[in-house]
Each structure stands twice: as C-alpha cells, then as structure tokens.
Structure 1
Amino acid sequence: MSNAGLFAATLNIPAEHPRLWFTSPAELSQARTWYASNPTNPANDDYLGMAFQSLMTQDPSGCQQAIQPALDIQIDTSQVSSDSARWYGETALLIYDWCYDQFSTAQRNEFTQNWNTWQQALNDKPWGGTLMESNNYYWGYLRNGLEWGITSFGDNAMAQGFIDHALDERFQYGMVEQWAPYFGKGGVPGEGTQYGRYMLGYGVVPLITAQSLGFDTYSATNFYRENMFYLIYSSLPKKTPAPSGTGCNATYWYLFPFNDDEQFFNCFPETAKSTSYGNLVSSYIRSWPQSTVAAYAQQWLNTIEPNISPWIAALTPTATPLNFDNLPLDYYAAGTGFTYLRNHWQNDSTVVNLQLGVSGNVGHNHLDAGSFQIWQNGQWLSRETTSYTEHILDWGGGPSTLDAANGVGHNVVLFQGRGQQFWSPIRADQVVLPTPPSLLHDEGADGLPEVTRVHHHPDFFFAAADLSPIYRARGNRDPCRYDWPYADSAVREFIYLRDLNVLVILDRLRASGDSLTYADGSACTFTQFDPANPALNSNQVSKTFLLHFLNQPQVNNNQVTGSVGNEKLIMTTLLPTNPSYNIFHEGGSIGQYRLELDDIGEAESYFLNVLQFGDNTMQALDIQLTNTPSSFEIAIDSNHTLSLQKGMNSSAGSVSINNVTTIFTECPQGIHVTDQGLQWSSPECIIFANGFEQ
C-alpha cells in the first residue's frame, strides 16, 4: 500500500510514558481521580486490567504480573491474515506503554524486535490492505501500527515509519480520501453489525491518542459524526427477544443486522451493548463534549447502557442528553444506500430498514442489495436470515442448501433463484474511488446499485434504486463462470405511508435470454457454462419476490399474514394478479420461514406488494388497483392513493394523503450531519452547471 505525495505525520509525542490514551499528566491525574471513586478488580487472567490498575494506583505489582504475559503474546503473520494481531495486539501494546518503566532493558529490546518484525509483515499484507478500508484486519493493523509507533517513538528507529503508514496511508489516504466520501458516506461500518464494530472499536485508542497529540482524526472526515446517527437509527428502540431456538430466554439490545454476524444468535455479547460501541460513543463525547452530537451520544449511552472499558470511562465527560424525538423520523446513508424509517420515536414504534445499495471494500459481505427488514414494538415482523457461514434451503425448496449470505437469505428479488452477484472493484470502470487500484479479482459484478430517488416527507418516505448492474457480471473476463445470465433490469421502489403504517414495494423487472448464448458457448471465453443451469428465453425466466417470517405465515388468496407475539404483518399482492406463493422452512440452526412469490411468462413484469404493520387486532385494508395504459393507480384507503408510472425505469409518480398530492422528487434528497445535528435538505432537485446553481 502506497501513495505518492503522502505527507509525514507529525505528532507531539511526549518523552514520558504513558502515551497511549493518557497523553499528558493532566489526563492521568483526571483518570486517577475518577478511579478513586470507580476502582476495578481485574480477574486473574485480565493482564491489561492489571496494568490499568497499576497505572491508576501507582502500585507496580499489577504491572509486574502483566509484563511477562505481554511478552508471551505471539503474533502469527504466516497466514493470509492475522487474527492474533487484532485479538491480542492492543493488549500487549497498552501493557508495554502503561508499564513501560517496569520493563527491563532486555525486555524492551525483545518486545521491540518482535513488534518491528510483526508490524512490518502486517502492513505488507494484501488482505486487510488497499481496497479493504472497512475490513476488520485493516483496522487491527492500523491500530497496532499507530500504537506501536507512538509508544516506541524515541527508542525505535522504525517508529516514525509505523506512524506514517498508519496515519498517512491507512487513515488519511485510505479512510479519509478513498473510502469515507464514497461507501462511508452516512457513517455505516461496512462489514456489518459484528465485524463492522471492530472497524469502529479498534480505532478508539489510537485515533483519540493521535488527536490529543496534534492530528485531528475525528474531524478529518464526517464519517464519525454520521456514524453516531447511524447507530441511533439502526439500534432497535427497545430490547427484543433473541432468535428462537438459541436458548436465550430474555430480551436483548440489537441493531438491524447485515453482513456476516456469527454472534447474532448468542445471548452474550449483546450486539448493541458491545464494548466496541460503548468505547466508540464515549469517544464521540470526549471529542465534541459541547456539541449536539455529544448530547445524542449521551442519550444513546443512557438508553443502551453498553459495556465501556474503564480507561475509556475515566476520561469521558458526561454530556447533557437530548431526546431522539428531536430528530427526523428518517435517516439515509448515501454511501451504502441504507435507510431507516419509523412512524414515531416511542419504543413501540415501527422501524423499517431499506438496504438500497451495498457496503464496499469489505471481507464479510452478503448479497443483499435491495433487501429490507421490519421491526415493531419489540418483535421482528421480517428480517434477513442472519448468518455467518450457515446454510439454508435453496430457492424453490431445494433439495440442495446454499450459504445464507446469498440472496435467498434476504428480502430481495431473485432471477432464476439468484439475486445480486458478488461485487469487487476489479476494473477501472467499476472503481468509484478517484485513483483506480490494480486488478485484484475476476468475479466482480458489472457495477453498483444506484439510488436514483429519495424523498423524505413528514407524512411519507419514497425511494427508488436501480439494482441492475449488480445482478450481472457481463463484463467479467470469464462471464460463463461468474455471470448469472437471467436478469436484465431490476428497479425497486419503496413508499412508506407513515400514518397508515404501510409499506408499498414496486419491483420493475426485465429478464434476459443471455443464458442461450452462454449455453451454446458463443459468449464464453475461458470456462463453459455449467450444463446444470437452464438455457432460457427471457419469458421463461422465473422471478421471485422473497419475504421472511419468524413464524409460519398464513395465505388467503392474495394476502399473506404473519404474526409474532402481539404484532402482525399483512401483505397484499396486487401484481401479479393471481399470485403463486410457496412457503418453505429454511432449515438448519438459523432458518426462518421464507415466502417465495413467483412470476413467469413475460420478459418484463412487475411485483406490486402492500405491507401493513399493526397489532393482532389489525384488519386487512381493502386496497384497489386500477391499471391504466401508463400508470398504476392504487387506492390504499379513501384518504391515501398512489399514482406510479409504468415502465422499467423509475420516474414521476405521486402520493395523495387527505386530498393533498405530492409529486415524488426525481433525485436523491440530501441529508447533512454537523456538530449541531442532522438535517434534511429540500427535496427539490438542484441542477448545477459549471459550478453554479441553475
């Protein structure tokens, strides 16, 4: 990883130790005052806790117990990536820094030789390097390199090089310039609710330390301010029962899950209460103590009560909390296209998560473009089949199984049983970064989804996403191996009517007959098309709308009802007019009930579904569809109507609520985060030419 023209990081590193987290005598004194009222009692094998206790009490016995275990930590750099580096690296480095005076010269030399060798090897690894800026290894290596450079500065000739690599190449160039303005816009940690939190938590000590020493890390990008609002909107409003069959019989704090999450089914650690999030949010308060962001951060801490490391708590001021009901009801993160909608801010609300795009530059991704999840009053009305490597029943009921990371594990649209293709930036035209990197992979899709329209309104929310590029890999150098040639176009629209608590989903779909040229070999380069895959004309391709339920849903004509606890979802299918439903239990340890709504017979077709959310007393609405030559006219009830234009592209359309008609915007509405909070811009599309508003 390198970039010409990088500046050398200059930090005002003190001559004395400690230097990590506690960067001055004043901070150390503040922490010791806090510790006097909040003493710790570390376990017999908590050597970092012993080092912290020793630093706080100035009793060397804790350090004397911790030094040899720190020396005994071995970092394995022989594999593609190093878990030992990210699991144990900070423990060793903080013990070294906080117990520096207790290390003998020989022990320091041994430690320095080992860490110079290990860190150089970690910095050189491709996995966890360039193009993986939101990957857990990337941040584990950044953390270790920066902490080691700072604590060994003055004793170690390689220290400045490690600081430069961490701050200049990985943070400033990789994070701030390359990733944050693109996939990171909106503050979503790319690898999801489990592995994404490592990206956030690993950075707390080194980045705040660098900030205290003169490099203002958290203000170098707006990602961290935006991340606070992502956490607020993605956290469920109240504790929720654990997934069935896990042996967890209580309720727990969760975030809307996405990407690999092997801990979603565990009683502990609770996702939202993890130390990674607790330390991170505390660091936001420390960084901007007088800001509105800090006020919301304090409210989040007070609500979730996450685990916080004592050394983090020791330097975190208490902000005056601000209730979330001061915030808009919707949040949109443009980098991933992730959107969070709700009908109100009380904890019995309905919250809808739309995944209009994908996360990027990650190693733990799922094929979930266009998916959605619904939570209401402490229950999941519908969510993805959250997974790590577990398999579930394949499309159509099997008999084979498939990794749940594929489309079948999410609320997406399938073409002939598959959703989006794997995406990685392998060609210059795929790379959304300003400096295209070298080619790394061959299996990437043609491109990313494009969120074409977003409209936030007090009464409704509207969004449209063109998912077509990520459903195909036509431009791949080996298309007959990696492409799935059954989709041509997929555009998904969502309209959420807040007062009715109704979500309307329109899918504009066009199938492809490219499998015919793949099957006869005329489109193939290196690998022949798998003969097990059917060769179909476009009107023979099956399209499938997926919806997941925790409990078995009930079907009545064109309506499907799912209940969990006292909460209920009713889906009314308007298109196709004679819906064909199949319901399967996905099986295995994580499987849910999966509804498959299939359609076949036309190359171009639509799915039009209306989802109602309420308690178990809710009755189905009498929804009427009028099919005109140019539009779908939908009467949800006497006071709510929609007009949606026909065609394979999203354009025009309007909603009428209580006789007031609003035309949907034709562009993505802007949203802005500052120290003063969150604000949506006007939904009007502003056209610029030569830098000037027209």
Structure 2
Amino acid sequence: MRVRASFVSVVAALTSFASLACEPRVTPGPPGSANGPASAEGVQSTKGGVKTAAAPPVVPPPVFEAPPAPPTTPVTTHPRLWIRAEELPRLRARAVESNPIYRDLMSVVAEAKLGMDRGKIPSEGDCTYERVFCESYAELFAFMALVAPVEAERKDYAARAKKILLTIVDRVIAAADKDPLARRGFSTTDRSRWAGESFGLTADWIYPYLSAEEKARVRRVFLKWADDQLNSSTTSFDHPTPIGKLNDPVILQGRPNEGLKKPRYAANNFYTAHMRNLTLLSLAFDPADDPPDHTGQYPRLRDYFANVAGAWLYATDHLLRNDARGGSPPEGFQYGPATLAYVSQTLLAIQTAGEADPARWGQQVHLDGNPFWSEVIPAYVHSLSPAPVQGSAGPTYLASWTGDGERYELWDHIDPFTALALHAQNSGNAARLNALRWLVTHTGPGGEAGISRRARSRFGEVYKRHTINYFLLMDPAVTPKDPRPEMPLEHYGSGRGQIFARTGWDPNAAWLTYQVGWAQIDHQHGDGLAFTFWRGGEWLTKERVGYGAFFVGSDQHNTLAIENDRNRRHDEPFRGGLWRRGSQWGLVHTEDPKLLAKSFGRDYVYTLGDATALYNSTYEKIDDVQHASRSLVWLKPDHLVMYDRAKTGKEGRFKRYFLHTPTMPAVAGNLSTVTTAKGQKLYVSTLLPEQAAIKAFEYKEDPKNWETKAAQQEPMKFTLQVEPKAMPLDARFLHVLQGASGGAAVDATAVVKSKGGTPFAGAVVKETVVMFPVDVGEVAEVRYGVPASVKRHVVTGLVPGGKYAVAKQGGEVTVKPGGDAVADEGGVLVF
C-alpha cells in the first residue's frame, strides 16, 4: 500500500468520480497453442508448489454464454483510437449551439484557448495551467480538430495540440537536469494515471497534421515510455512478469506464502493504467512511420501491442473472468472506477483499431466474451442506495462502499461508462448503450441537474477527458430509459463473494449487501463477512469508510475481530496494529475465504461465508484462528438474523462482534437501540453469547495519526461491540437486527437450541424461527422445539436441492433426509 499524497492534491485531482530485468523476447503463439491464454474458469493448478489460479468457488458463478467475436480488420486510417473516421460526420452534427453538452464543451475549450493565447499553455516547470496538465489541453484541442464543424477551426485546433505535444516531447528528448517532464517515472506515476492517455490519443487524432520529422520525434519518446511501462515499479507488481512472456500461464502464478497476490495486481489502478497507456502508444503509429530500429524490448512501437495483448490483458482478462468476476472492481469505490476505465478504454482502443481479433490475439481482446463486462451495470446499480441524498454536488446516490475512501460520496463514472458505451454502440448493443447513458445522466454527482457541471469538469479534475467523454456519449436526440425495472432484485458477484439484494427499485426500498472476498492488492480492507443494511431512505448500519492502514482493520467493518498469535512484524505500527485489533490480514492472507452458500428467496436472502483464511497468514507466521464464519438470513424487509462462529486454538483470546451505527446505541441488557436522524429505530438483540459484554462508544480519531481520520461525510460515528465475558476457545454470536419506523416497538425474540441430532441454534422473531448449524458441515437430522406462535420455519445449512422429511408434533420439529420437502439452491428449507 502506498502512502497517499496530501489530501488537497489527491482529492482535488480525483473527486470527480489513487524493476525487473527484461527476459528474452517471446513471440506470441496462436491462442490454441501451449502459449495460448488460459480459458477455463475457476481452474486451480500448481507449478513448483505455487498456485496459478483460484479454486472453483463453493457457490458457482452464474452461467455465461459468450457471444462470438464479430469479424474485424486492422484500421489503417486515422483517427482509430476510441473514435473512427466514419463516426466524424455524426459527431460534427452534434457540434451545434442547441446541444447543451456542446455548449459545455465549448466553454471549456474557450478557457483553454484563452490560456494558450496568453502564453500560459504550454508552460515551463511541470507544464500545468489552472492545475490541469498540458497534455490534457493537447488532447482537448486534438479532439476539437476532429469534431469542430468548420475546417479552418479544425486546423487551428490541430496546430494548438501539436504545439503542446511537441513541446513536451522535445523536453523529454532534451532530458535537462531537474526537468519534471524528463524525470524517471514521468510516464508511470500518478500523472500518467490521470492523464497518460492524452499522448497516444493526441498523436492519433492529429496524425495527418504531423510531418515525418515530427512523427519521428514523437515516436522516439513513445518508445521510451513504452519500455517504461514494461519496467514500471510505482507500486507492487504493477507490470506482468516475467517480462517478455506472452500468453503463458507463468504470468498468472503467485509466489510462495503469498497466495495469488501477484496475479491479482492485474486489477490494480497503476497496473491497468500502464496497460491503457501502452495500448494507445503502440497503436497510434502507421507501419510506414515505425521502422524496426528500436533497441529496447521490441524493435517497433507496434510490436509492444503484442505485449499488451499477451501479457497485460492476458492477466487482467483472466482475473476479471475468475477471481474478480461479478462486475465490481476489487479496489473499491475510490480507485475502482479508474481501474474500470483503464481496462475498458484499453478494450475500446483495441476495438476501434480493428485489433479485437481473438484468433490473432486471444480471447482477452473480445470484451463481450468476458462475463465481467456484462455484470458491470448490475453490480454498479446494486451498489447504489435506493434513492439519492443531498450531497456537496446536489442529490447524489450513496454507495455500499468498499476499500479506501477519503470522501464518502459517489464519484462520476463517466470514464468507464463512456468507454463501455462506445464499445456497445460499435457492437450494436443498444440495451447496454441506453443503460449507460441513463446511469451517467442520473447517478453522477448531482444527478440530472448536475450534468452540465460534470461535463464542464467542475470537480477539480487535472484533465479534460470528462468533457470529451460527455460529448462522445450523450446524444441530444436521445432520451435514455431507466434500465433498473428490468433488472433482478439480487446480484451475485462470484469472484469476491458479494451479495446484493433489495426489496424493489422504488426510493423506499430496503437494501442489503454482504461480502466475503479476498483482499490482496492495494486499497482493499479486512472486510470479509461484512454486511450493510439500508432502510427508510438512510443507512441503519454499514462499515466506517476511511483511507489507509488503520481502516484495513476489521474492527472498522461490520464483521468479527479475532485475536491470533503474535505476528512476526508486531513491532511495526501497521502490522502490529492489525494483530492487536484481531483483524483479517489484508495484502498477506495466504488462502482465500469462501462463500459456502447463498439463496435468493421470494421474501428472504441467505448467505453463509467462511472467512477463516483471512485471519491467518503464512507470511506473518500466524495460524491460530481455526474458524470464522457468518450465516445471515434477511427476512425482508425489516429483520436480519445472523449467526457467527469464531474459534481459536488457544484460550484467553478475544472474539468480538462489531456493528457501526450513525448514532450512539442505547444498551439495555441484551437490547441495543439506535435512533437515526430520520427517527427510525435499529434494534439489535444479542441472543448469544449468553454471558455477553456489550458496549457502545463514539469513534475517536487519533490526532497524532492521520490514518485514523474517517472519510469526509462518513455517517457511521458510533460502534456497538459484543464479546463473551469469558474468552473461550469457541464462541458463538446470535443477533437479530430489526429496522423499524417511528415509534414501532421491538419485536420479541428468543433463542432456540436443538434437542437432538446435529447441533443447531437459532432465533424466533415474530412468527418465524430461523435455525443455523452450530458448526459448518454435514447435517444428519435436526430436532428442536418452538413456541406455539411460530408459523414459519427457516432451516439453513442443509444440502442444496436436498430432499427432507419434516415432522411436527405440537411445538416439536424434526427435519431429516429423505422426504418431499426440497431445500433451495443454498440449502435452506422453508416450511
């Protein structure tokens, strides 16, 4: 995990939405050869004792049938990156005063022209104007050289773009001491993430205006930067290794004691930014201007595209279709939108350049062949609150946040959504194009009323790409339709064990999320088994969002903290802090957690996750947590019943249940009551442990440690903590959470324990009993008794699709295998 820059520099830049030696060259073999890309999903193999892919998830991923890739031919004209020549008449037809997005575009262009005419662009030093990078102005002018309706204007814009581009290129070639543009890392650090696409796009968009000599200068720098991408070392594992290996499973191998950490960095924001930039650099030049005279990794600029397809995209595609499947970026909501953008922009460029040919480059160049991309829209929509709330930009949806976050407010997803929409438009996918246009219009910060502000890049961006993207995406003649009513009310992200469910698409819907996924790359947290619950237009409970090492800790999430052996790096503040707080081990857990079961019933949702692996680490030399799991049943719309299991190998070790709330819980016996700002109640009944120590407290930041500062606008200011008064080897927690409106009273609850057969425990709430196995494993028969008031039974932990006999006599119930009652897909029997 990298130390962040100052809050001002990073957040102001981003709030719109964070060396190995060269191996011998390897020529990519055809996709079906030994060097071909791995295509089997969920395959696990070992090579020299090192994992090369994750085991199949216990709950399988949804079935996906990939459509065939359409025929394609490499494009030899310009533009060919993101935009093609045949699209220019349509785009120029939008460049009219009656188009509000065009007016926004022209207001931004006018400011840029004024800055250039005053001699402020390009500038000396780091080459910025009004905190925007010069290359972003080059991209803006190059775009206008394509879409301006008058030819004379197009020539003027091209001249402006060329001047800026060549100024930067010449400074890189000159390599003057202390020139920030010539320094090592210019093409691979933050600036390259934020605006690195500008160089390849500008060269492509103004290609006819460049002379042969000018192209040679630009190419010289592009080749240098291409080698920089292959050897980047900005963060951990931010380029494929071994360098030069193509379409080779060795790229997907992990390292001893680290699980699959290395290959999972293929979803890191730096890794994917380097991939995008290398793609654009390598595809910008024509063969006639790209002779085989380079002495770096490859002789021609175009040859680097083989590395993009056979190494970078090979790894990222494999990760997205397996361990990251589900549509949600693994790094979470601060960095994830950028990662989605970098990958989708890569694939868009490959498509528009005519290189999306699986027969030549492998399945990884076929966007629609990877199920992840069909899941992006459902995952995004299910990650948003049922209704927007008032934010700093106006009405804005709240996200079920994961990962680092400096500001708890949804960022504009215009970058990934434009790339995906343009790809869909080129592919004839009208439904996807419509959905993305609607989402950009209505779910960006400020909603539909804020679209002009977003299109004019008024959120502190260090680039002008958003302005371009709004013009490319939004057709003034089209009013997009809300896609949500056609979507299921549940979504399952199989790669990281994510469950999303809601009662409807109306603003008053209730909403639940749950996850139990790996956490091995930057910006992920120890949030396995965590859940969130929204009701009545506000959060009742969720994690506490923050940025940095402190918020990796599991005690800042709605999950369990379990004391383990003292880790080998216990004297280091970050690692020692995680051990002392009983946290899961972000970045260094060796094995993966598992989602063991899930059910989407008509009026209930069930999940069972095993997070034991997240609490242990071979790297840290600790393995005393023997079991950690959570079973959760949501009885829609108002009740959550959850059963937690925590076991260590040694006694005297704490096991704690954490729940974060917007106001201070009032604790009275085993009932804790939270009253929200809107007057709702969250009742939390602690039924197990029987001798529980329950306390509520306000979260306090450490003024000496900036990493304890919660995200701006973070509403979870308080915490409820539950633990056994003694510290046994094996602890069980049973809680019933109830959301209630106004003065509604808490519903009576009671513990139920089995009387024979496989041990079970559960809770009665209202007229329903929910039963869980005490230990995860095979179930023989279950015998238990309930009050006469119980009319519905929900028995979990059974065999999915298994047949059972149910016998009821008075309040006594027996469930055993062999009968006509059938358990659902998650092993839940309801009768």
**TM-score normalised to structure 2 length:** 0.66
Q: Residue 590 of structure 2 aligns with which residue?
A: 446
CA distance in 1, matches of 2:790, 2:163: 72
Q: Give 1:254 shift.
A: 3.0
Residues 650 and 28 (structure 1), Cα distance of their counterparts in 2 relative to 1, 3 Å cut: farther
- The aligned amino acid for 1:617 is G
The secondary structure found in structure 2 opposite 1:335 is helix
Task: Report what 1:329 is aligned to.
Answer: 489
Summarize the alignment of residues 186-197 of structure 1 with structure 2, pairs less than 5 Å apart: 186-197=326-337
Aligned partner (choices 340, 363, 373) of residue 200 of structure 1: 340
Displacement of 1:613: 1.6
Structure 1 residue 668, shift from structure 2 partner: 7.9
Aligned pair in 2 of structure 1 residues 496, 383: CA closer, same or farther (>3 Å)? same
1:174 aligns with 2:265: no
Query: What code does the residue aligned with 1:508 have?
Result: R
Distance 1:568 1:319, change over 3 A: same
1:429 is matched with none
Deviations 1:66-100 (A, max 9, x none): 33333455375449952222222112222222122
Q: 1:664 to 1:490 in 2, by over 3 A?
A: same
Find 2:765's aligned residue among 636, 647, 656. Answer: 636
Distance of 2:684 and 2:722 partners within structure 1 = 11
Matched, 1:623 2:746: no
Looking at structure 2, the residues matched to 72 and 505 of structure 1 have their Cα atoms a distance apart, in angstroms, of 62
> What percent identity do the matched residue pairs reach?
19
The number of aligned residues is 596
Distance 1:291 1:29, change over 3 A: closer
Code of the aligned partner of 2:772: L
Q: Aligned with 1:455: secondary structure? A: strand
Any unmatched runs of 5+ in structure 2? 1-22, 37-70, 113-128, 130-136, 169-180, 241-262, 292-299, 357-364, 446-453, 456-465, 564-579, 702-708, 711-715, 802-822
Instruction: Indicate which of 348, 354, 364 corresponds to 2:514.
Output: 354
Q: 1:66 to 1:614 in 2, by over 3 A?
A: farther
Matched, 1:21 2:82: yes
Task: Report matched runs for 1:122-133 at 5 Å.
Answer: 122-125=229-232, 127-130=237-240, 131=263, 132-133=265-266
Residue 278 to residue 446, structure 1, CA distance change in 2 (3 Å): closer
SS in 2 for 1:194: coil
Counterpart residue identity of residue 232, structure 1: V
Letter of the 2:193 partner, please give it. R
Deviation at 1:621, TM superposition (A): 0.9
**1:336 deviation in Å?**
0.6
Which residue of 197, 200, 203 maps to 1:90? Answer: 197
Structure 1: segments with no counterpart, 5+ residues: 243-247, 390-401, 425-443, 477-481, 514-537, 670-681, 687-694
Q: Residues 319 and 650 from structure 1, CA distance in 2 versus in 1: closer, same or farther, beyond 3 angstroms?
A: farther
1:596 match: 721
* Mapped pair 1:229 → 2:369: no
Residue 52 of structure 2: aligned partner: none
Residues 471-482 of structure 1 correspond to what in structure 2 (within 5 A)? 471-473=615-617, 475-476=618-619, 482=620
Distance 2:142 2:186 in 1: 30
SS in 1 for 2:543: coil
Change (3 A) 1:226 1:466: same
Deviations 1:588-626 (A, max 9, x none): 341721221122332112011111123333321111112
Matched to 2:646, the amino acid is L
Whether 1:408 and 2:542 are equivalent positions in the alignment is no
Q: Partners in 1 of 2:513 and 2:783 — Cα distance?
A: 22
Q: Distance in 2 between matches of 1:665 and 1:29?
A: 61
Please give the root-mean-square deviation of Cα atoms over the aligned residues, in Å.
3.2
Task: Tell me the distance in 1 between the aligned counterparts of 2:29 and 2:667.
Answer: 61
* Structure 1 range deviating more: 605-614 or 563-572: 563-572
Relative to structure 1, the CA distance from residue 311 to residue 625 in structure 2 (aligned partners, 3 Å threshold; closer, same or farther) is same
1:68 is paired with a residue of what secondary structure?
A: helix
C-alpha distance in 1 between matches for 2:502 and 2:195: 40
Q: CA deviation at 1:159?
A: 2.6
Q: Is the 8 A contact 1:368 1:412 kept in 2?
A: yes
**2:719 matched to 1:612?**
no
* Structure-2 change in CA distance of 1:311 and 1:633 (3 Å): closer
**Within the alignment, does 1:492 sit opposite 2:626 as a pair?**
no
- Select which of 39, 48, 64 maps to 2:139: 48
What residue identity is the alignment partner of 1:493? Answer: S
The 3 A distance-change label for structure 1 pair 289 and 300 is farther
Larger Cα-atom Rg: 2
| Aligned residue among 149, 154, 157 for 2:282 | 149
Aligned to 1:505: 642
TM superposition shift of 1:345: 1.8
Matching residue of 1:584: 697
The answer (yes or no) to whether the contact 1:228–1:281 under 8 Å persists in 2 is no
The answer as to whether partners of 1:586 and 1:593 remain within 8 angstroms in 2 is yes
Q: Give the direction of change, closer, same or farther, for the CA distance of 1:483–1:594 in structure 2 (3 Å limit).
A: farther
Q: Which residue of 2 aligns with 1:526?
A: none
Instruction: Write out aligned runs for 1:103-114 (5 A).
Output: 103-114=210-221
Q: Which amino acid aligns with 1:143?
A: R
Aligned match of 1:422? 585
What's the CA shift for 1:165?
1.4
Q: Distance in 1 between matches of 2:491 and 2:783?
A: 21
Distance 1:650 1:624 in 2: 26
What is the CA deviation profile of residues 332-386 of structure 1, one whole-angstrom value per residue up to 9, with x for unaligned ones?
10101111121222112221111122355x3221111111122234322222221
1:575 to partner: Cα distance: 0.5
1:372 aligns with 2:531: yes
Q: Distance in 2 between matches of 1:145 and 1:320?
A: 34
Distance 1:18 1:284 in 2: 16
Q: How many Å separate the matches in 2 of 1:92 and 1:209?
A: 14
Native 8 Å contact 1:294 1:319 kept in 2 = no
Pair 1:33-2:93 in alignment? yes
In structure 2, relative to structure 1, the CA distance for the partners of 1:354 and 1:685 (3 Å cut) is closer
Structure showing greater relative contact order (alpha-carbon pairs closer than 8 Å, 6 or more residues apart): 2
CA contact (8 A) 1:573 1:608 kept: yes
